[in-house]
Structure formats: structure tokens, C-alpha cells
Amino acid sequence: MKFGSDKISKREESVTKSIYIKRSLVNQIEKIAAENHTSFNNVVISMIESCLKDE
């Protein structure tokens, strides 16, 4: 099987934003990330998506 550009998933357009987060929340998010072997960013994005889906 030949690997071609049709096998590469397209990334959605993204932007960078700076937000200020209380240290206590950062600590909690970092703990969740470590327990799940993922990044801080991935946890935050997952939380935001989950909250927005509930609306």
C-alpha cells in the first residue's frame, strides 16, 4: 500500500490565545494530564469542548 497525501488528516484552523488561570486550577489540570499521559493543552481543549457540547 502506497502512502500518499490522501492519508494525511487535515488540521482544523487554529489560533493561539493567552489566558490567565489560577495556579490551583493549573495544578489540577496538570494532574489530570499526567494521569492520562497527555498534554495540559489537550485536557483544557477537551474540557472546553465537553462544556460547549452540553449546551
Structural domain spans, the chain: 20-55
| pTM (global) more than 0.75 | no
Output the pLDDT for position 28: 96
Contacts of 35 (CB under 8 A, 6+ apart): none
Rounded mean pLDDT for each run of 10 residues along the chain, 55 residues in total = 61 90 97 94 92 80
Residue 16: its pLDDT value, please?
A: 94
Q: What is the pLDDT of residue 12?
A: 82
Please report the pLDDT score of residue 11 as a whole number.
72
Q: What is the pLDDT of residue 9?
A: 63
